[in-house]
């Protein structure tokens, strides 16, 4: 397999950092973005020009366009874009603040949308490419206290399903990675709302206590997760969605089965509203 050039956002920690390390170790070239300088200094020292680091806050649309331009001018060709930057907002819908909502949507939804939009002209001009969006099981299921996080993940997955159809004729395809609970620093980066006592004895309160006491199991291995994403990105024709982890697989399977049953249960009503022949 020939070496590839990857463009990865959110590389200072977590899956993005680990993916950068794995790709550099196998000889690929990585253009890595992060919000604060210094996080990849050790990798820069070890791999030199194989790694090119750019500063980027994905909430800044103009900065996205500028950094994408720099990346393609530097690399000439980019084979895989990995849209990885993101974080979780935790709190019942009425607990979270307007500012928290704005930042969550700007980072997890608007940012990836604008990143993908900025990259598409370059991928068209070079005759194709692959976009990997790091979503989560939260793009297919919903937990209490993560309503805004789910809104962004369901939103970006819907965006990609549509765009994938638009650009397939140009040789551009997409992979949506959906990890379940994984041993990264995701929990440490969660933005939590000020809790309201009225939610203590509700499902939202149960989830809050579960995260606090560790009773919500995290069984995903970060290294295996990154290896699986890279392998799928290397494949000739990967499926558009990739659930990662047993919890993600079973939770998504149950959610889809439940939605399908609801659809079947309401079939008669759905068919009844067509215009008369």
List of long-range contacts for 102-109, beta carbons under 8 Å, 24+ apart: 103/59, 103/191, 104/148, 104/149, 104/152, 104/191, 105/148, 105/151, 105/152, 106/58, 106/59, 107/58, 107/59, 107/152, 108/149, 108/152, 108/153, 108/156, 109/151, 109/152, 109/155, 109/156, 109/159
Annotation marks residue 147 as catalytic: no
- Catalytic choice (47, 122, 149, 199): 149
Alpha helices in the chain (DSSP H): 14-25, 41-47, 61-75, 98-105, 111-125, 147-167, 203-213, 222-234, 246-265, 267-272
Is residue 272 part of the annotated active site? The answer reads: no
Task: Select which of 135, 136, 199, 247 is catalytic.
Answer: 135
Catalytic residue among 83, 153, 199, 247: 153
Q: Quick check: is 135 catalytic?
A: yes
CA R_g for the chain: 20
Residues marked active site are found at: 135, 149, 153
């Amino acid at each position: 397999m020939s070496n590839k050039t990857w463009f990865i956002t959110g590389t200072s920690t977590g899956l993005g950092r680990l993916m950068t390390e794995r790709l550099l170790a196998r000889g690929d070239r990585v253009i890595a973005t992060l919000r604060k300088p210094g996080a990849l200094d050790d990798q820069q020292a070890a791999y030199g020009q194989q790694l090119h680091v750019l500063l980027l806050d994905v909430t800044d649309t103009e900065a996205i366009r500028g950094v994408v331009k720099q990346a393609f001018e530097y690399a000439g060709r980019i084979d895989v874009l990995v849209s990885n930057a993101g974080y979780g907002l935790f709190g019942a819908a009425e607990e979270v603040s307007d500012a928290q909502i704005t930042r969550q949507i700007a980072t997890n939804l608007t940012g990836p949308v604008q990143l993908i939009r900025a990259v598409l002209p370059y991928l068209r001009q070079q005759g194709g490419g692959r976009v990997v969006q790091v979503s989560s099981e939260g793009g297919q299921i919903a937990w209490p206290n993560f309503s805004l996080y789910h809104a962004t993940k369901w939103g970006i997955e819907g965006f990609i399903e549509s765009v994938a159809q638009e650009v397939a004729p140009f040789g551009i395809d997409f992979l949506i990675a959906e990890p379940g609970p994984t041993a990264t620093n995701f929990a440490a980066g969660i933005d939590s709302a000020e809790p309201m006592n009225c939610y203590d004895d509700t499902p939202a309160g149960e989830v809050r206590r579960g995260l606090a006491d560790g009773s919500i199991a995290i069984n995903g291995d970060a290294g295996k997760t990154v290896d699986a994403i890279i392998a799928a990105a290397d494949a000739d024709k990967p499926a558009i969605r990739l659930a990662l982890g047993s919890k993600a697989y079973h939770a998504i399977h149950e959610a889809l089965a439940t939605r399908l049953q609801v659809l079947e249960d309401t079939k008669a009503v759905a068919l009844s509203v067509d215009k008369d022949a």
